[in-house]
Amino acid sequence: MNLVFVVEDNQDLLSIEIKLLEDNGYRVRGFLDTISLWNGLGEETPDLILLDLTLPDRDGLDVCRDLKSDPILRAIPIIMVTGRLELDDIVKGLNLGADDYICKPFEQEELLARVRAILRRSAHLPQNGTVEIVPGLNLDIQRQELIDKGKRIILTLSEFRILQLLTTRPEWAFRRSEILDHLWGDDKIVVERTVDVHISNLREKLGRHATLIQKVHGVGYCFKAKKGNTGNEG
């Protein structure tokens, strides 16, 4: 049974989310602030965190940053739950390593769909092994990290799965809709703009290898077997 942590400062909404998830087969722990969240993380590790961005003792974006900076906790998927509708806040959360977001007010079925999708793709990840992407650059499957000449680079779950998809067919231009299908399957709810944010973050982490992922105008993105600028980069 998957364990979900819900961090929400509104007691009524927290109770609704807990009941919804428990009624659908999840084990749930709720927290009204970040202090209680960290205490809970010291006791057990959840399979997913639903993180409100407006908390009484700390900004949720800062909490997300701390979670993704922790070598033990960084692999936990995070869904941001926010009443902030500004795109900048959403993009900032994705940049910090959150895997998805949902805006308040939300439909209960939408929340369940996002939770199911995140947990499903986490469960289907290969558990071990290292794959060489190009000479000197490897993908550690177990740790969801890139290894660039011994230097380890942390990836989010979405970044990891996008890179896996692109490298399965080098030189092939994947449409944004195909990438979303790979990430979410039948639970696809997010907008295509989300793909661009994840790709941008992934290319930044690739550093000197950034041109391995190139934008194909009017189509989507492709993985270049050899580094170089083909005129489609962007």
Domain over 130-223 is classified CATH 1.25.40.10: no
CA 45 to chain centre: 17
Task: Please tell me if the domain spanning 3-123 has the same topology as the one spanning 130-223.
Answer: no
What one-character DSSP code corresponds to residue 9? S
- pLDDT, residue 75, reads 80
Residue-wise pLDDT for 105-151, tens only, equals: 889 998 998 898 888 776 655 555 788 888 888 888 777 789 998 88
pLDDT tens-digit profile, the chain (234 residues): 899 999 999 999 999 999 999 999 999 999 999 999 999 999 999 999 999 988 999 999 999 999 988 877 888 889 999 887 666 777 788 888 888 888 888 899 989 988 988 887 766 555 557 888 888 888 887 777 899 988 888 888 888 888 988 988 888 999 888 888 777 665 555 566 778 888 998 999 998 899 999 999 888 999 987 654 433 444
Handedness of CA 72, 94, 180, 207 (dihedral sign): negative
Classify residue 175 as exposed, middle or buried by CB count within 10 Å of its CB (0-12, 13-18, 19+). Answer: middle
H-state helical runs in the chain? 11-23, 34-41, 60-69, 87-95, 108-123, 157-168, 176-184, 193-206
- Dihedral of the CA atoms 66, 68, 73, 74 (nearest 10)? -170
**In the chain, domain spans:** 3-123, 130-223
Domain over 3-123 is classified CATH 2.30.110.10: no
